[in-house]
Amino acid sequence: MTTTLSRRLSPLLLGTVFAAGLMLSSNARAEELRIGFVAPTTGIFAQVGKDMVDGFQLYLDQHGNKLGGADVKFIVEDEQGKPDTAVTKAKKLVLQDKVHMFIGGLLASSGYAMAPVSTAEKTMYIASVPAADDLTQRQLDKYPYFIRTSWSSSQPHHPLGQWACDQGYKKVVSIAADYAFGYEVAGGFQKAFEDCGGKVIQKIWPPLGTKDFGPYIPTIKQDADAIFTLMVGPMSLQFPKQLRAAGFKKPILGGGTSYDEFALPFMGDEVIGDVSALHYSAAIQTPKNEAFVKAYRAKYGKVPSYYSENNYTTAQWIDEAMKKAGGKWPGPEQFIKIMQGLKIDAVRGPISMDDMRNPIENIYIKKVEKKQLFGYDKPELWNTVIKTYPDVSQFWTYGKAKFLAQPVYSRDFPPCKFCE
Amino acid sequence: MNKQLIKIAVVIVALLALAFIVPRSGSFVVLLATRAMAFAILAMSLDILLGFTGLASLGQAAYFGVGAYLCAVLATKFHFGLGWDFWIVVVLGILIGMALAAIFGLFAIRASGVYFLMITLALGQCVWGLAYRWNSLTGGDNGINMSGRPNFGIDLSNEVTFFYLVFAFFTVSLLLLYLLVRSPFGKSLAGIRERELRMQILGYNTWLHKYIAFIIAGGFGGLAGVLWAQTNGHVSPETVVLTTSVDALLMVVLGGAGTLVGGAIGAAIVFGLREYLSTLVPWWQYALGGVYVLAILYLPTGLIGIPERIRQARGTTSKKPSQSGETKKLASVPS
């Protein structure tokens, strides 16, 4: 009887033994800084997850696995691209590994799902990638242990709207992936562009994962001066190719993920000249960025994406905050306060933190160019920075109160006033 | 009959051991056991269709999803179900699962075999589409965050307390489903599985039997959904997505279809490998895939057929045809 039982319960029993073992080992060394890292290391987002982990790991490797003098125990957990799993893994990190903080999540849904865990478990959560606007806007009050070191979805796209307007574009068609991130990116662009006098004359929402844009391209209005697009993953490779093949000659503006370094090496020459906006470009011409790109590429064989840089900078931020705390973990409330007070000289440029715990950072308007950079021998596609908007906050020029009074960007907000 | 009593005794002892061991292990194990048991209720509800009625459904996540979304929407938009009224939410969750199954059943029960599979898949995807696009209600892709678990004198935010609650629901569900499949109604479902035409000739309204089984399965799916929402504190379209249905189907087949506990064993194995092993090693997917392949190649009756296989290998049992017990090969299902 007992053998049958133990066979049936063996996964659980095994679990118990492992759990007990891990707890003992983590209690024995109290001086270390335990950092949990939640990223999709399997599934369709596995490559993005790898960029995230590699970015953080590179900083640790360059600094002898120490942050601010404390030994780091870096524990990577696989969220598999699912919010449910992200919650389980975050809880595992807190309950079993007793981490001081957990970092990461990729999709907005993972970020939203993990933020309440930080509140319930009174453990710090650093969103190093999830960009959902409301995490640091209308819902921040619910998450006192939450801080973001990356960006909010609409943050780079307000300046892009302004820039498009400054180029003299009057009418723009927006075509963006049909989900929350797409709404926030396209919404930010439309708001700034229209406030400056431009008109978004058509909004098209192809579903996430669209493989053939044939049905959408002929519906694009011909009197547009330019097109604004937000694509993710394989969509970002397919869309410009099909659009140019259809004979579209007008300028294409892209949201952050349409042309980021994660997709760029796989693109063809048809994207040369396309413009996008983000808080990082691998082609920023600073010694700091050059060193980072070279070190990253030497180690991992590819150009770092903003996923890599954001996590590298997160590690740097923790490093400097720990230094300020004297190498001892001061507790989550105090640590967040220290992080908020710091000014970081990061790879992507100078960063500080606003009072809603979202970074104030440079936004780069980038143009895809084919050239040799940083002494690499082959000409490649790079996101050359053509304009820098310094110290952009998530509220752009609207001011916090006015911005928060409007609803979060959605499919219907801002309304398409100039659509027919 | 005696063998049946032994089986029941084994299950009872296993349940008692579970209730005794899990709360004394690490909190993460408690969390995993809670998740596995909430999902096991869904797997068992699917087993009613797959194992006992011979209907392979790929849309069970739909009832799971409406249960979960109901719980989340009531809690966040109406602040309902945060105290003793949680029990009303449980009842509503079961009812909404049944109601949806009653509607879907009208479309699905007309078909059988692969066509039934396709229709349930399509209907399940409709619910996913709603969850994904009805932004004002479901929060779209971002999902809904719940603010905490209910507290009705007993505070469910304690993981161990919540484990016992889910454990109780799991046990009661197992008991009710067991009584159901042992009842004359359950016997006629088995008859439909074996040979539907013969049951019709005997004068059974097989459509109605299948329809009722479909609705009952929907009800338990809804219950599992409510518990799932409370387990995670978060509901997103990922809860309703096709892979959830596929997971449930695989768990039932892995554990052993037509046995009820098979679904629970399958859930325990899949959650153990996917969520526990993945914290230890990066190659957990190979382990999970290997288990699936080996089970399908060598254990057509599922993991629960292992003792039977061992006994057969030792040759201690005579080769009576009834020895395959209640685990019938799915291949014998007439289409």
Query: Cis omega (within 30 of 0) on the bond before A359?
Result: no
The pair of three-digit structure tokens given for residue B270, joined into one six-digit string: 């899949």
Phi, psi of B171 (to 5 degrees): -65, -45
Identity of the amino acid at B278: S
| CB hemisphere CA count around B51 (13 angstroms) | 33
Cα–Cα distance measured from residue A150 to residue A310, given in angstroms and rounded to the nearest whole number: 6
What separation in angstroms does the CA of A313 have from each of A127, A154, A299, B166? 12, 20, 17, 42
CB A202 within 8 A of CB A418: no
The confidence score (pLDDT) of residue B189 equals 93
| Residue A109 CB contacts under 8 Å (≥ 6 apart), including other chains | A83, B141, B142, B143, B236, B238
State whether the Cα torsion A378-A380-A383-A384 is positive or negative. Answer: positive
**Is residue A64 over pLDDT 60?**
yes
Instruction: Pick B28's closest partner by Cβ from A9, A96, A113.
Output: A96
The confidence score (pLDDT) of residue A23 equals 44
On chain A, the residues whose CB falls within 8 A of the CB of B269 are 11
Q: How far is CA A212 from the centre of its chain?
A: 26
| Residue B120 CB contacts under 8 Å (≥ 6 apart), including other chains | B57, B58, B59, B60, B104, B108, B245
- Beta-carbon contacts below 8 Å between A and B: 139
**Nearest chain A CA: its distance from B136 CA (Å):** 10
Residue among A47, A76, A46 nearest A60 (CA): A76
Instruction: Pick A77's closest partner by Cβ from B14, B25, B279.
Output: B279
Chain position carrying tokens 């109605």: B208
The confidence score (pLDDT) of residue B173 equals 95
CB A370 within 8 A of CB A140: no
- Give one word for B139, left, alpha or beta, with left for phi > 0 and alpha for psi -120 to 50: left
Each as own residue / partner, the long-range contacts of residues B88-96 (CB below 8 Å, 24 or more positions apart, any chain) are B89/B226, B90/B223, B90/B226, B93/B67, B93/B222, B93/B223, B93/B225, B93/B226, B94/B67, B94/B219, B94/B220, B94/B222, B94/B223, B95/B219, B95/B222, B96/B66, B96/B67, B96/B70, B96/B222
Scanning A125-179, the segments in alpha helix (DSSP H) are 157-166
The confidence score (pLDDT) of residue A57 equals 96
CB B37 within 8 A of CB B166: yes
Instruction: Pick B35's closest partner by Cβ from A88, A108, A178.
Output: A88
Cα–Cα distance measured from residue A385 to residue A221, given in angstroms and rounded to the nearest whole number: 29
On chain B, the residues whose CB falls within 8 A of the CB of A9 are 14, 17-18, 21
Do B232 and A113 count as a contact with CB atoms less than 8 A apart? yes
Strands A199-204 vs A101-104: parallel, antiparallel or unpaired: unpaired
On chain A, the residues whose CB falls within 8 A of the CB of B17 are 5, 9
The confidence score (pLDDT) of residue A31 equals 67
Assign A26 a pLDDT band (cuts: 50, 70, 90): very low
Segment holding A287, helix H or strand E: helix A287-300
- DSSP per residue, A6-59: HHHHHHHHHHHHHHHHHHHHHHH--SSEEEEEEE--SSTTHHHHHHHHHHHHHH
CB proximity under 8 Å: A 79-138 to B? 80, 82-85, 87-89, 91-92, 95-96, 107-109, 112-113, 115-117, 120, 132
- Calculate what percentage of chain A has a pLDDT beyond 90: 76
User: For helices A108-121 and A83-95, what crossing angle results, to 10°?
Assistant: 30
pLDDT: which is higher, A283 or B324: A283
Cα–Cα distance measured from residue A153 to residue A197, given in angstroms and rounded to the nearest whole number: 22
Cα–Cα distance measured from residue A401 to residue A395, given in angstroms and rounded to the nearest whole number: 9
| B235 three-class SS | strand
**Is residue A394 over pLDDT 60?**
yes
On chain B, the residues whose CB falls within 8 A of the CB of A109 are 141-143, 236, 238
Cα–Cα distance measured from residue A227 to residue A251, given in angstroms and rounded to the nearest whole number: 7
**Is residue A13 over pLDDT 80?**
no
Mean pLDDT of A151-170: 94
Cα–Cα distance measured from residue B38 to residue B45, given in angstroms and rounded to the nearest whole number: 11
The confidence score (pLDDT) of residue B313 equals 83
Question: What is the distance in angstroms between the CA of the first residue and the CA of the last residue of chain B?
Answer: 31
| Residue A207 CB contacts under 8 Å (≥ 6 apart), including other chains | A177, A178
Q: Which range among A317-321, A374-378, B118-122, B280-284 shows the weakest confidence by mean pLDDT?
A: B280-284
| Residue B24 CB contacts under 8 Å (≥ 6 apart), including other chains | A16
Cα–Cα distance measured from residue A351 to residue A316, given in angstroms and rounded to the nearest whole number: 12
Tens digits of per-residue pLDDT, A184-214?
999 999 999 999 999 999 999 998 888 899 9
Instruction: Pick B234's closest partner by Cβ from A12, A113, A179.
Output: A113
CB A136 within 8 A of CB A165: no
On chain B, the residues whose CB falls within 8 A of the CB of A410 are 135
Tens digits of per-residue pLDDT, A251-272?
999 998 899 998 899 999 999 9
**Is residue A29 over pLDDT 60?**
no
Tens digits of per-residue pLDDT, A117-144?
999 889 999 999 999 999 999 889 989 9
Please check whether residue A23 touches B, CB under 8 A: yes
Q: For an interface test with A, give the residue of B238, B246, B277 to mutate (most A CBs within 10 A).
A: B238
DSSP A133: G
Cα–Cα distance measured from residue B247 to residue B231, given in angstroms and rounded to the nearest whole number: 18
The confidence score (pLDDT) of residue A309 equals 95
Assign A18 a pLDDT band (cuts: 50, 70, 90): very low
Scanning chain B, the segments in alpha helix (DSSP H) are 2-21, 27-47, 61-77, 86-108, 113-133, 135-138, 159-182, 184-194, 196-201, 206-232, 242-255, 261-271, 278-280, 284-298, 306-314
Do B25 and A411 count as a contact with CB atoms less than 8 A apart? no
The pair of three-digit structure tokens given for residue B82, joined into one six-digit string: 């945060």
**Is residue A412 over pLDDT 60?**
yes
**Nearest chain A CA: its distance from B199 CA (Å):** 37
Tens digits of per-residue pLDDT, A326-373?
889 999 999 999 999 999 999 999 999 999 999 999 999 999 999 999
Q: From start to end of A255-379, where are the E strands?
A: 275-278, 344-346, 349-353, 359-371
In chain B, which stretches have pLDDT less than 70? 1, 316-335
CB proximity under 8 Å: A 199-218 to B? 208
Identity of the amino acid at A311: N
| Residue B12 CB contacts under 8 Å (≥ 6 apart), including other chains | none
Among chain A residues, CA nearest to B133: A179
- Give one word for B151, left, alpha or beta, with left for phi > 0 and alpha for psi -120 to 50: beta
**Is residue A20 over pLDDT 80?**
no
Instruction: Read off the pTM.
Output: 0.85
Instruction: Pick B145's closest partner by Cβ from A80, A112, A181.
Output: A112
